[in-house]
Amino acid sequence: MPVARFFRFQERQTNLRTEILAGLSTFITMAYILVVNPAILQKAGMDFEGVFVATILASVLGTLIMGVVANYPIAIAPGMGMNAYFTFVIVLGMKIPWPSALASVFVASLIFLLLSLTRLRQALINAIPPSLKASISAGIGLFIAFIGMQNAHLISASSATLVTLGDFSDPIAYLSLLGLLGSVILLVHRIRAAIFLGMLLSALLCVLLGKVNFPASFIELPSHATSTFLKLDFKSFTPDLAAVIFTFFLIMLFDTTATMIGIAGQAGLLQNGRFPNAKSALCADAIASTVGALAGTSPTSAYIESGAGVSVGGRTGFTCVVVALLFMSMLFFAPVAKMLASVPSISAPALIIVGFLMMSHLSDIDWHDVEEALPAFFVLFWIPLSYSITSGVGAGLILYPLLKIVRGKYKQVHPLLYVFMILFTLQFILDALHGAHA
């Protein structure tokens, strides 16, 4: 079957040249994940090269399924925010070994996959009010930016105020600042690949100042894949991981669904506000997350950067085929990615910019409605300040139904939200008891 007929080029008013250009545009805008994801998970004790390979495999699989089965120009790759949650909250904060954390990703992904095949998925999406969905996304953005600022040495710990400005005489700090400025200038000029090009600019500055150690070879066979492959540990599961699994599941569900609908709307592929073939699209992400956990990476997500490809005319899944092939072509360039990740000044500005872009969800919150805005506010500031996405989400899911109850509007709350409120309340009580006995 000809490519044009299989992907319905004529029906969606596109052609092969446009789809290839769209795939290239999407890949360039999201290529930073090849450096940033292994760099973040490496801090959890995982092997950089192993995560690099896992990142590519999960991205290729999810993006191909999205393109060939769902026929959407929406790329899939390990999600920003979830990799930070995996490393800084679960592994470093909760002291859970990364193989157990990967097992929690695997379980959450299986649940997501099973629910993607049922109508319960839509019920869960409807259960969470829009204000909380928006605040969760924005709160994760603040969390990512906060981590980026720390990695860039633009802020540092303080015994007096907990956090203070960093030392700008530190080479990492001023190089990060210059790289961030370059990314911001590209961003305000609406350059689609601002994040990726900003990383290259930072890398050039670091090279000129002698801060980068070049590898012996820029190309190598992916021989380190086994360092993270099938390393899941189900034996060391703790009660804390139940909340972790639930948080992973919620983020995968809301973030992926919102991004897919947004990109499909931008491409003009929604039908009367409906998202056609949603089951296949959600399954693409769920399968990628499941396989990604087996290979050795945090959950995947639909990428908002897919909008770059849509903006130049991408309308079919062939855009994703091109993105997947480009990801696969990077399989032998782990030394280059590791070199770029070795200097915080190169990757930290990307985290800050990604965090900023995720703040756009705040416009979906009615700040004049206290019942909606106050729970959203607690989610928004509690995620970065508690250094825990779970705590922030839990605070919002407890406070929202509580306010509705005291206002006599308990019937406006979806029954599932009361279940979430009880579960998170029990989780906070158990954490408090555990802390008291520690």
pLDDT at 437 over 60: no
Q: In this structure, is residue 438 part of a structural domain? A: no
pLDDT at 254 over 80: no
Q: In this structure, is residue 427 part of a structural domain? A: yes
Q: What percent of the chain has pLDDT over 70?
A: 95
Q: In this structure, is residue 27 part of a structural domain? A: yes
Q: In this structure, is residue 122 part of a structural domain? A: yes
Which of 162-171, 214-223, 326-335, 370-379 has the least mean pLDDT?
A: 214-223
pLDDT digits (tens, 9 = 90+) for 79-128: 888 898 899 888 998 888 999 999 999 999 999 888 888 877 767 767 77
Higher pLDDT residue, 347 or 322?
322
CB atoms within 10 A of CB 17: 9
Domain holding 95, by residue range, is 3-224+233-433
Q: In this structure, is residue 418 part of a structural domain? A: yes
Q: What is the model's pTM?
A: 0.80
DSSP 271-331: BTTB-TTHHHHHHHHHHHHHHHHHHT-PPEEE-TTHHHHHHTT--STHHHHHHHHHHHHGG
Please report, for residues 37, 76, 98, the alpha-carbon distance to residue 85 in angstroms, rounded to integers and kept in the order given: 12, 19, 12
Instruction: Find out whether 403 and 378 touch, Cβ atoms under 8 Å.
Output: no
Confidence of residue 273 (pLDDT cuts 50, 70, 90): low
Reading the block at residue 184, the tokens are: 């911001």
Q: What is the mean pLDDT of the chain?
A: 85
Confidence of residue 438 (pLDDT cuts 50, 70, 90): very low
Confidence of residue 68 (pLDDT cuts 50, 70, 90): very high
Domain count, the chain: 1
pLDDT at 297 over 50: yes
Q: What is the separation, in whole angstroms, between the first and last Cα of the chain?
A: 64
Q: In this structure, is residue 93 part of a structural domain? A: yes
